[in-house]
Amino acid sequence: MKEMILDDLKTIKKYDGSDMMSLIESFSDQCEKAAGIGNAFELPVSLKADHKNIVFTGLGGSAIGADIIRSYLADEVTVPILVNRNYALPKFVDNLSLVVVSSYSGNTEETLSAYKDAKAKKAKIVAITSGGELERLAKTDGFPVLKIPGGLPPRCALGYSFFPALILLSKIGLIKDQTAYIDETIKTIRGLKDKELGHDVPSGKNRAKDIAGSLYQKYPIIYSGQDHFDCAATRWRGQLAENSKTLSSTHVLPEMNHNEIVGWENPKGLLKDFVVIILRDAGDPARIARRMDIIKNIISGRKVRVIEVNSSGNALLTRIFSLIYTGDLVSFYLAILNQCDPTPVKSIVYLKEELGKR
């Protein structure tokens, strides 16, 4: 069984030249440190004003934390939250907007452009970064900086991009105190690593290893409910791409039921190469859960394997992160099966080098 390869630490280390495994397995520690950074941040008086909207701007690993915030807080926050992934901000941004500028390196060109746009629109600005040009500009212009540790691949800094920003919103008064939910989330992630998903939990008892084995040389398609868990599906797709060097796609329910479900008829010759992952939660609305049951039957009837992944924990925040953390480890184990180092992202580096020539 190919999954058994994942029980051999020598094989893992052979391909994991940059020790991605340690970064993923220490994620609970990062979350704890990130929460400490958020709690230690002194809120400037300028941010205590009312905000008519909140815009997070960033790309890639620096934006996924914002996606989680938008999705997690959908039923609590009373002002719109938008995640911007472009050079410019929407026209509605003005002096009553709060713009959270997130660039892990501090040098992402799209994000720096959006920062300048936010400044020109006289928005309230907070920067989240490990340094670089963004930190320099924000400090020069007198905007607060949530400084986070550097030296990680941006996608491995999710804790730093998420928890300080979440705590910031609670300090502003937009949401209630999150301490209890954060503590439960950290504890649950640590337990998942130690007892269920970590490298020393053997195949057959390790859900992440077993899913990775099912995805080997297949095209994963990830479905979730729109309510709160679209961000988890997005994270799975991003991690499969960057860590596993594997293409995948995502969609959400109920929208998927109004178009994509019909596409599960062709191309007939390729359907055998697809595997569907359905991310499920005990809190999924009853009609969404029923829809998931039905699409599982439809897709399975096409002789396509369907794997259901259930969330863990009590608090909504915990359940979201349990699915995200499972996907992170699936992507790592699939990288090993693909015999590739999960850390390097050569195509992204090449793209930036080519852009830098003009």
Kindly state whether residues 223 and 279 are assigned to the same domain: yes
- Average pLDDT of the segment spanning 131-139: 98
pTM as predicted: 0.96
d(C-alpha 145, C-alpha 142), whole Å: 9
Kindly state whether residues 217 and 120 are assigned to the same domain: no
Quickly state the pLDDT bin for 220 (edges 50, 70, 90): very high
Kindly state whether residues 80 and 162 are assigned to the same domain: yes
State the total domains in the chain: 2
DSSP 8-state assignment for residue 193: I
Domain residues for the domain of 33 are 23-177
Kindly state whether residues 323 and 265 are assigned to the same domain: yes
Kindly state whether residues 27 and 173 are assigned to the same domain: yes
Kindly state whether residues 100 and 145 are assigned to the same domain: yes
Within a domain: 358: no
Express each pLDDT in 275-332 by its tens digit: 999 999 999 999 999 999 999 999 999 999 999 999 999 999 999 999 999 999 999 9
Residues 6 or more apart whose Cβ sits within 8 Å of residue 174: 51, 54, 77, 78, 79
Instruction: Tell me what pLDDT residue 203 has.
Output: 95
Mean pLDDT of the chain: 96
Within a domain: 344: no
Could you confirm whether 242 is annotated as catalytic?
A: yes
Quickly state the pLDDT bin for 268 (edges 50, 70, 90): very high
Instruction: Tell me what pLDDT residue 77 has.
Output: 94
Instruction: Tell me what pLDDT residue 356 has.
Output: 87
Kindly state whether residues 162 and 251 are assigned to the same domain: no
Q: Which of 25, 228, 242, 245 is catalytic?
A: 242
Kindly state whether residues 120 and 27 are assigned to the same domain: yes
Q: Which of 91, 258, 268, 357 is catalytic?
A: 258
Could you confirm whether 258 is annotated as catalytic?
A: yes
- Average pLDDT of the segment spanning 41-49: 89
In sign, the C-alpha dihedral spanning 170, 173, 175, 180 is positive
Kindly state whether residues 165 and 227 are assigned to the same domain: no
Kindly state whether residues 286 and 306 are assigned to the same domain: yes
% residues pLDDT > 70 (the chain): 99
Could you confirm whether 91 is annotated as catalytic?
A: no
**In the predicted structure, residue 343 carries a pLDDT above the cut 80:** yes
Within a domain: 160: yes
**In the predicted structure, residue 3 carries a pLDDT above the cut 90:** no
Kindly state whether residues 140 and 46 are assigned to the same domain: yes
